Structure 1
Amino acid sequence: MQNRITELFDIQYPIIQGGMIWASGWRLASAVSNAGGLGIIGAGSMYPEVLREHILKCQNATDKPFAVNIPMLYPDLEQLMNIIVELGVKIVFTSAGNPKTWTSFFKEKGITVVHVVSSVKFALKAQEAGVDAIVAEGFEAGGHNGRDETTTLTLIPSVKEKISIPVIAAGGIATGSAMLAVMVLGADGVQVGSRFVASTEASSHQAFKEKVVEIGEGDTHLTLKELAPVRLIKNTFYEEVQRTYADGATKDDLVALLGRARAKRGMFEGDMEAGELEIGQVSSLIHDIKPAKIIVEDMVREFEAAKERVRTI
């Protein structure tokens, strides 16, 4: 399954694990990389020395390529970037910020740079900044999302029409069939988040993994656009957000309600009611918790089977 993405990252399959807050530690990243995809350490939830520990452990657990995802809205950003360079990480995914800020810093050091976008406008800006590829993430995705609510089905061909660098599709992809669909639309690879949350190696709390498997269609909603749009499971905290909106919430009201470490409380510590639970719409299609290796193998098998089905149409 060789194409521009497998060649760019030197991996077997064009399957990239999402760099998810509180879920994407070294165990998950190394497991996905060992299975032939590209594992990603999600640095959004990590202090500098914690990131250092995860990179070193990942390097010990795999001799395959892996990446680090850096959302550019967290403190200690310069320390995180310097640790990545110091420890010889070869691939960096940036998100939630201007790609011009750090792309040249990494490129000068021979590091491959990928930027996450949610629109054609930002895809063009990322290409202009010199990134090697972009992740085009649709409205279906979990975690922090774009404000335009453009679905993956629309976003991928729109981005592909305008840029020349490789495109990785994200948002609503948990099966090999979905992988084939977005590649037909022009994607060179896929980034998979929610399906890997429900993996044995994900660092998220077991209660959160079980909640992901349990929820159905319509059990998530994109909200908190005034802060940073995020797709949440509907729980007690979500209902509090909705009541705050109904009472005429200001941005300050929402900040006060969110408080500190709300996502950690839910996804990492396991508070399924008062915690912030970020997951994608595709969670309604996830019915079990399994090793990352099996998830990758299942996707590849489903992808090949879907190609065979298409030939009979």
Structure 2
Amino acid sequence: MTPYLHHPNICFSVFTYLYTPLIFFAYLLIHREISIDKSYLAAPNRKRLSPLIRKLLNLGILEKNYSHLDYGCGFGQDVERLRSQFDFNSTGYDPHYFPISPKNADIVTMNYVLNVISDFEQRKEALLKAWNLTNKILAIATNIQGGINSKNKKTRWETYTKSFNYIELKGFIESTLGYELVRIDKDKFMISRDGYKYDSPMTYKEVITKIEQIKLQGWIPPKEAVIKGYCNDFKPRYIGKIDPNDNPNFPGRIRYYRMYSKIGGLPGKNGMVKCLHIPGGKDGEAMKQAIAAIKRRDEILKIKFHCLKQSFVQEFAGYKNFNFLKNVVTFYE
């Protein structure tokens, strides 16, 4: 060996150069400053077709004449069974087990993929990649729980698992892809290329700016406000004939309309009230103003719901009716 390598200072310098990065890396791992992706360990070992694939087959969504891609296929057992047992044109992609670059397919499935990705941006990136490979329908299965607050935890295998609530998942997918999410089962959903298409989502700053612009157009009813029809006299006014101007569902009766909010917040003559009469009937000028106010309110709700970072998702706790996303004003007759 060359003599100068035995010099203690030189030996220490060589050791420092070679091993300091490894020691630093080990330190970061021990103190959780960095993490290694172990999501591949969450791949299940299935003995039969997954519930998502069985659901798609039963609904006739996944058919033999359609190409299929299982995005995040794990061990690829769904793909193997679809090919061997049903002669489907099915392929799989998984960044760990099957890292070959995937090709577009008519039906793309993401079977419990989104819930094992811990980072929000990486989750969005995976969803977009799967959607860009989709010709017709993207079908998704993921953990769903009740309530507004999702739960995130680590398993005993050090893998990450997330439980979405439905509202959070709907907002995330629709704001990312721009298309309506349709529920086909408790934890199974689909997005179609032919489905309802939304306006481009906005950032938090853009949402706040747009809301201020909408407020300048007129007053904004509370989110609880609805338009209701009612009859104050259920005795027929005509005997033996029907007034053609009457509502066919309520023949012979006088029909009135009002805006109602269970929390109040409607502008009355002497302050805020819970109920406002809408004079002039369904086609009157007052009704047009009421509908315009509801549409302003719904536009604000829509851009909040589809905010790119889901900054307002907590405001939609308990929502079951999403007509505001499609600019539909519901009359409760």
TM-score, normalising length: structure 2: 0.28
Instruction: Flag the structure with higher helix content.
Output: 1
Report 1 or 2 for greater relative contact order, CA contacts < 8 Å, sequence distance ≥ 6: 1
TM-score, normalising length: structure 1: 0.29
Q: Which of 1 and 2 has greater Rg? A: 2
Instruction: Flag the structure with higher strand content.
Output: 2
